[in-house]
Chains A and B, each alone.
Chain A
Amino acid sequence: MKFPALRTYAYIYLLFLYAPIILLPIFAFNDGTIIAFPLKGFTIEWFRQMADNSTLRKAVQNSLIIALSASIFATTLGVFAARAATRFSFPGKGGIIGLIMLPLVLPEIIVAVSLLVVLLGIGVKLSVFTVILGHVLICTPYAIAILNTAFNALDRSLEEAAYDLGETKLSTFRLITLPLVMPGIISSLLMSFTISLDEFIIAFFLAGAEPTLPTYIFSQLRFPKQIPMIMALGTCLVAASIILLTIAEYFRRRGIAKTGGTDTGGFL
């Protein structure tokens, strides 16, 4: 430890990063509508309020439907694109991949507005479905980036060996390719799910009258009375994230142990 200053900096950095998240559960159980110390007492009133709120339930339901559909669609498209990009060469490949990856660098507000204009122009009614479309668009580049790595790491001769031993192209994909890129697929699903779940701008523009979790939370922030309930909601989300990441990490490590690879770091 030659640089005590850097070490202190690192601690302060971590404190600022995580302190707000620690405050979340503290105020979620605090018996008072004002978010300030000293704490008033323990209550689960906010969680009860949250459970009783039908609009919130609707928003959670919408968000889950959107995030699930978008992550599955984006990952499926990603599998096709990543396989094509890593296995085949065809004219215009660079340009096509570039176009697919473009939403990664485009400002989301531009994507959202353009989509809105197009959708309204061709007369599609705004709904959960239109949000899914928008989210697939922004999730697919992330899915491809993750899956490209997975497919690149796959030794091509493994597929050839299975084909050589009498399997068809399809059964080779099912028996060899899919199990070996599965960690990548799970990562891609989780990444897309997370991106979709907390995405605000596209959901705000394309959801029409349907609430999603981020747009609902945003709308409630205007009412100070609702803030403890949002805190409770936040606590639930943090807990869910931790559980989800733990499961993902468990599968990732098990996958590595199974294939005998060396651990090159994951989520945790």
Chain B
Amino acid sequence: MTNRPTMIEFQEVHKYYGDYHALRGITASIRAGEFFSLLGPSGCGKTTLLRTIAGFEDISSGAVMIDGKHMEHVPANQRPTNMVFQSYAIFPHLTVEQNVGFGLRRAAGTPAEKARRVEEALEMVGLKGYGRRAAHALSGGQRQRVALARALILKPKVLLLDEPLSALDKKMREQMQVELIKLQRQVGITFVLVTHDQEEALVMSDRIAVMFEGEILQLADPETLYRRPNSRRVAEFIGVMNFLPASVLGESGGHVQLEVAGLGRVDIEAAQGSGRATDGTVSVGFRPETLTILYEGQTAMDRETPGTVDEVVYYGDMTYYDVRLDGVDRVVRISMRNVFGRPVLDIGTRTRVAWSAGALVLFR
């Protein structure tokens, strides 16, 4: 993965809409052939950034390079990118085939050749035989496939996807996620996806850039992003994370000694932390699944802390417990896989929680 050449490069990209600073110095590179996601809440600038790649937005300063070429004076219709729009933007007055073949109008080749390419593109997205249908008569999932086929038929270097799955229902969305991943592997084109759905980004991407307020806060692969978020905002946006206040006792030899509320003294590796210390108070975060509730007779592998069950949320395969650790005035969320024969605990039960220092993330 890492030795792939760079396909898209942002150099200090700024974008202003009047006084509004939409992109605040984006510097990042997207590798060739990778499935890259721009993830963030609405209004964070992720769609604006995508549109600067497509050429629909001019940038105020900085540079966007695609495949080593400066894009400043290249209009959208001459860039080696194609886009799948959030609304799919299927031309309603044309047939499926005319939609898919729209980009070939100016391409070289005989009509028969073009018709064959359209047929191939339709087959690739699983719409073989739908060519003669009117575009407006398609379902949401089918429109999405037409939009994909239409964007891929020109064999762009980069395919841009602007929240392509947000209009689909949950089942269809999950199905399309898998199909998109397969399609991306099959065609080998760089995919850049914009989404506000963290789960979607984690499932589909090779790498993810998490954006807030016009800045990339973290750019990493899904696992790193989930396990080692570099800031509380990223941690809170992706999945659920518990936070406990802590103070730094000392630092030495790549290790940090902490006093964590409820957990006591902990020694963690400095690599588990991130950011710069602004003042003495720091916080420690951990995912719900890194904690385990200990039942009668079980002992912790590493460390354990007593607490009281404060709330129980039963999900069928999982149960979420909010546990108040002794000595802390807040609850931590713990997710437990339900196992046959193991009872779901009641509210108020005294319990012990097992955890490991290796799963902690230090935010300072």
A: residues with CB less than 8 A from B are 155, 157-158, 160-168, 176, 179-180, 258-261
Partner of A163, one of B77, B91, B92, B93: B77
The answer to whether B76 and A163 have CB atoms under 8 Å apart is: yes
Q: Is the CB of B85 within 8 A of A260?
A: no
Q: Say whether B103 contacts A260, CB under 8 Å.
A: no
Give the 5 A-B residue pairs with the shortest CB-CB distance, closest first: A260-B136, A165-B103, A161-B89, A259-B92, A157-B89
Set of chain B residues within 8 Å of A176, measured between Cβ atoms: 91
| Residues of A with C-beta under 8 A to B81 | 164
Residues of B within 8 A of A180 (CB): 92-93
Task: Report which of B85, B93, B136, B151 forms a contact with A157, defined as CB distance below 8 A.
Answer: B85
Q: Would you mind naming 5 contact pairs between A and B with Cβ atoms under 8 Å apart?
A: A160-B56, A163-B76, A166-B77, A180-B92, A260-B135
Q: Apart from A160-B89, A161-B85, what are 19 other A-B pairs with CB-CB below 8 Å? A: A157-B89, A160-B56, A160-B83, A160-B85, A164-B54, A164-B56, A165-B82, A165-B102, A165-B151, A166-B77, A166-B107, A166-B154, A167-B105, A176-B91, A258-B92, A258-B136, A259-B136, A260-B92, A260-B136
The answer to whether B93 and A165 have CB atoms under 8 Å apart is no
Please state if A157 and B86 are interface contacts (CB–CB under 8 Å). Answer: yes
Contact A258–B89 (Cβ < 8 Å): no
Report the minimal beta-carbon distance from B291 to chain A, rounded to whole angstroms: 45
B87 at the interface (CB under 8 A from A): yes
Q: How many angstroms between the C-alpha atoms of A164 and B103 in the bound complex? A: 9
- Report the separation of the CA atoms of residues A160 and B134 in the bound assembly, to the nearest whole angstrom: 21
Within 8 A of A (CB), among B85-140: 85-87, 89, 91-93, 102-103, 105-107, 134-137
Known contacts A166-B105, A176-B91, A180-B93: A161-B77 contact under CB 8 Å: no
**Could you tell me the distance between the alpha carbons of A163 and B83 in the complex, rounded to whole angstroms?**
10
A interface: dominant SS: helix
B46 within 8 A of A: no
- List residues of chain A with CB within 8 A of the CB of B76: 160, 163-164
Known: A158-B91, A162-B102, A166-B105. A260 touches B82 (CB 8 A): no
Point out the residues of chain A lying under 8 angstroms from B93, CB to CB: 179-180, 258-259
Interchain CB contact under 8 A, B77 and A260: no
Chain A residues lying within 8 Å of B56, measured Cβ to Cβ, are 160, 164
Interface centre among A164, A166, A168, A261 (most CB of B within 10 A): A164
A166 x B103 contact (CB < 8 A): yes
Query: Using an 8 Å CB-CB cutoff, how does the interface string of B133-172 with A read, 1 for contact, 0 for none?
Result: 0111100000000000011001000000000000000000
B interface residues (Cβ-Cβ under 8 A, vs A): 54, 56, 76-78, 81-83, 85-87, 89, 91-93, 102-103, 105-107, 134-137, 150-151, 154
Residues on the B chain within 8 Å of A162, using CB: 91, 102
Q: In the assembled complex, which residues on chain A have CB atoms less than 8 Å from the CB atom of B102?
A: 162, 165
The answer to whether A161 and B83 touch across the interface, beta carbons within 8 angstroms, is yes
Chain A residues in 8 Å Cβ range of B154: 165-166
Residue of A157, A162, A165 ringed by the most chain B CB atoms within 10 A: A165
Minimum distance in angstroms from A15 CB to a CB of chain B? 42
Point out the residues of chain B lying under 8 angstroms from A168, CB to CB: 77
Nearest opposing residue in chain A for B135, CB measure: A260
Asked if residues B77 and A167 are in contact (CB atoms below 8 Å), the reply is yes
Q: Would A164 and B87 be within 8 Å (CB), given that A258-B93, A259-B93 are in contact?
A: no
Q: Whole-angstrom distance between the alpha carbons of A167 and B135 in the complex?
A: 20
Q: Which residues of A contact B106 (CB under 8 A)?
A: 166-167
Given the complex of chains A and B, what is the CA–CA distance between A258 and B93 in angstroms? 6
Q: Are B77 and A155 in contact (CB under 8 A)?
A: no
Tell me the complex Cα distance, A178–B106, Å.
Answer: 19
User: Are B105 and A258 interface neighbours, CB within 8 A?
Assistant: no
List chain A residues, Cβ under 8 A from B135: 260
Contacts of A258 in B (CB 8 A): 92-93, 134, 136
Residues of B within 8 Å of A259, CB to CB, are 92-93, 136
Choose among B78, B83, B137 the residue with the greatest number of A CB atoms under 10 Å from its CB.
B83
Question: For A163, what are the chain B residues with a Cβ–Cβ distance below 8 Å?
Answer: 76-77
Residues in B whose Cβ lies below 8 Å from that of A164 = 54, 56, 76-77, 81-83, 151
> Within the complex, what minimum Cβ distance (angstroms) separates B89 from chain A?
4
Give every chain A residue within 8 A of B92 (Cβ-Cβ).
Answer: 180, 258-261
B105 x A158 contact (CB < 8 A): no
A82 to chain B, nearest CB (A): 19
Say how far B208's CB is from chain A's closest CB, in angstroms: 24
Interchain CA distance A164-B102 in the complex, whole Å: 11
Report the bound CA distance from A219 to B103 in whole Å: 60
- Give Cα distance in the complex from A214 to B134, angstroms: 46
Most central of B82, B93, B135, B150 by chain A CB within 10 Å:
B93
Chain B min CB distance to A167 (Å): 6
Q: Which residue of B lies closest to A176 (CB)?
A: B91
Closest to B137 in A: A260
A260 CB contacts on chain B under 8 angstroms: 92, 134-137
- Nearest-CB residue, chain A, relative to B86: A157
Report chain B residues within 8 Å CB of A160: 56, 76, 83, 85, 89
A259 to B137, CA, bound (A): 9
Complex Cα–Cα for A165 and B87 (A): 16
Give Cα A260–Cα B150 distance, bound, in whole angstroms.
Answer: 20
Alpha-carbon distance A167/B91, docked complex (angstroms):
14
Name the one of A165, A167, A179 contacting B150, with C-beta atoms under 8 angstroms. A165
Q: How far is the CA of A168 from the CA of B106 in the complex (A)?
A: 11
**CB < 8 Å: which of A155, A167, A261 contacts B87?**
A155
**Complex interface: chain A residues within 8 A of B107 (CB):** 166
A256 to chain B, nearest CB (A): 10
